[in-house]
């Protein structure tokens, strides 16, 4: 028998304890590396000076008070969507339907404003549109949850298809409501009467949205961490069998959690129509349903952490939209940079959770023992 055992060059083990310090060092290093790669990609594809690009990205986010408010608004909306999606993903329900659930809220709000705009004042309109947006958003999430709970229907594709159903429904109503006729756009709804528009607090149009987002984030943190519901859904996420064994009604938890997710998405849609955009388009959700998943996942479903990961993504996309206007490039450049950063951060998890031993160091360890 051949006694020399062939030892692999690298040997990987799981770390038992990961210190917070190590976790953050790895993350920050990975983001820095990602920014360097982004700079190289930018320089190679566009022949621009990467420092100039980053300077103008910084300027795009923090250049003026207005830009900072836009950044805050974008972050607030993305954060709301991520916070909404967090409980479903913590339950391992792969809800890719955030897009459609937000659009459902958008559609309900716009419908109230269009059909009842001349029949009631703001006192009736604002609560009515809020309730209908939350209800329709919740319904959009409940349908796939129901089938998942009853028959274990594939939720990833179901929620995804609900997005397109939602988009087509919005497209249908846009043509019905278009003004002027034939433009293919709805335009600003109730421009003269401003019925259904949210008031701007202290002259700052986006302040209300930011406050609502902060409130929802804090409430979700408490819900996930300190309530029975939050505990139950994390048990369902870890093991459905364990959940059944301890007497948790799994199907009820699934439906309840998704109704919550859909309701917050609907609320987000309401804020977008009633609070900022005052119109409806099929692209109003703007990919946030997908980005929200990534934001939530990167933060390990911790609502406070989502603030950081959300900020990173919003900063990149605001910055990229600034460079695309400043240097005359296509807006999609931001998605490329976001993608690169995501790859690095996703990859960095490995270096947090696993340890690599090279052949040499492994032998030394053996000698020490």
Partner 1 sequence: MFSLVNFIPRAIVQSIPLLLGCVGETLNEKSGSLNLGIPGVMYVGAISGVIGSFIYENSGSPFNPVIGVLIPLLACLFGSLMMGLIFCFLTVSLRANQNVTGLAMTTFGVGFGNFFGGSIMKLTGSDVPSIALSATSKAFKTGFPTSLQHGAVGQLLLSYGFMTYIAIIIALVTNYILKKTRTGLELRAVGENPATADAAGININRYKYFSVCIGCMIAGLGGLYYVMDYANGVWSNDAFGDRGWIAIALVIFCIWRPNVAILESILFGGLLILYLYLPTGTNFATKELYKMIPYIVTIIVLILISIRNKKDSQPPEALGLPYFREDR
Contact set with partner 1 (CB under 8 A): 12-14, 45-46, 94, 96, 147, 151-154, 156-158, 160-162, 164-165, 168-169, 171-176, 287, 290-291, 293-294, 297, 328-336, 338-340, 342-343, 346-347, 349-350, 354
319 vs 312: CA distance, rounded Å? 10
Shortest Cβ distance from residue 96 to partner 1 (Å)? Answer: 8
Shortest Cβ distance from residue 264 to partner 1 (Å)? Answer: 20
Which residue, 98 or 196, has its beta carbon nearer to partner 1?
A: 98
Entry field: residues in the chain: 369
Shortest Cβ distance from residue 173 to partner 1 (Å)? Answer: 8
Which residue, 28 or 175, has its beta carbon nearer to partner 1?
A: 175
3-state secondary structure of 129: helix
Each residue of 91-119: b (16+ CB within 10 Å) or e? bebbbbbbbbbbbbbbbbbbbbbbeebee
70 vs 209: CA distance, rounded Å? 11
Q: How far is CA 325 from CA 57, 314, 319, 328, in A?
A: 11, 17, 10, 5
Shortest Cβ distance from residue 200 to partner 1 (Å)? Answer: 32
Return the sign of the alpha-carbon dihedral for residues 282, 99, 298, 223.
positive
Which residue, 89 or 221, has its beta carbon nearer to partner 1?
A: 89
Shortest Cβ distance from residue 348 to partner 1 (Å)? Answer: 9
288 vs 155: CA distance, rounded Å? 18
Which residue, 4 or 13, has its beta carbon nearer to partner 1?
A: 13
Which residue, 245 or 354, has its beta carbon nearer to partner 1?
A: 354
């Amino acid at each position: 028998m051949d006694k020399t055992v062939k030892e692999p060059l690298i040997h990987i083990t799981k770390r038992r304890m990961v210190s917070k310090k190590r976790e953050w060092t790895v993350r920050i290093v990975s983001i820095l590396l990602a920014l360097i790669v982004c700079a190289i990609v930018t320089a190679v594809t566009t022949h621009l000076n990467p420092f100039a690009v980053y300077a103008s990205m910084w300027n795009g986010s923090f250049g003026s008070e207005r830009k900072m408010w836009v950044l805050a608004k974008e972050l607030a909306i993305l954060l709301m969507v991520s916070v909404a999606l967090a409980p479903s993903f913590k339950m391992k329900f792969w809800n890719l339907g955030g897009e459609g659930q937000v659009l459902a809220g958008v559609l309900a709000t716009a419908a109230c404003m269009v059909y009842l705009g001349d029949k009631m004042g703001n006192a009736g309109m604002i609560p009515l549109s809020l309730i209908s947006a939350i209800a329709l958003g919740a319904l959009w999430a409940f349908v796939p949850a129901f089938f998942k709970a009853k028959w274990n229907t594939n939720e990833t594709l179901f929620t995804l298809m609900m997005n397109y159903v939602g988009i087509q429904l919005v497209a249908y109503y846009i043509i019905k409501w278009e003004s002027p006729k034939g433009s293919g756009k709805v335009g600003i709804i109730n421009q003269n009467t401003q019925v259904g528009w949210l008031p701007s607090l202290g002259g700052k149009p986006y302040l209300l949205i930011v406050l609502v987002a902060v409130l929802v984030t804090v409430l979700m943190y408490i819900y996930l961490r300190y309530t029975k519901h939050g505990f139950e859904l994390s048990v369902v996420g870890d093991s459905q069998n364990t959940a059944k064994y301890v007497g948790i009604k799994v199907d009820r938890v699934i439906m309840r959690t998704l109704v919550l997710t859909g309701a917050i998405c609907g609320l987000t849609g309401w804020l977008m129509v009633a609070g900022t955009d005052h119109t409806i388009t099929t692209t109003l959700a703007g990919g946030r349903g997908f980005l929200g998943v990534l934001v939530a996942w990167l933060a390990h479903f911790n609502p406070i952490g989502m603030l950081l990961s959300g900020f990173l993504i919003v900063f990149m996309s605001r910055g990229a939209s600034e460079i695309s206007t400043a240097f005359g490039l296509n807006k999609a450049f931001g998605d490329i940079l976001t993608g690169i950063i995501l790859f690095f951060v996703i990859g960095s998890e490995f270096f947090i959770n696993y340890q690599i031993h090279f052949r040499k160091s492994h032998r030394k360890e053996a000698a020490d023992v």
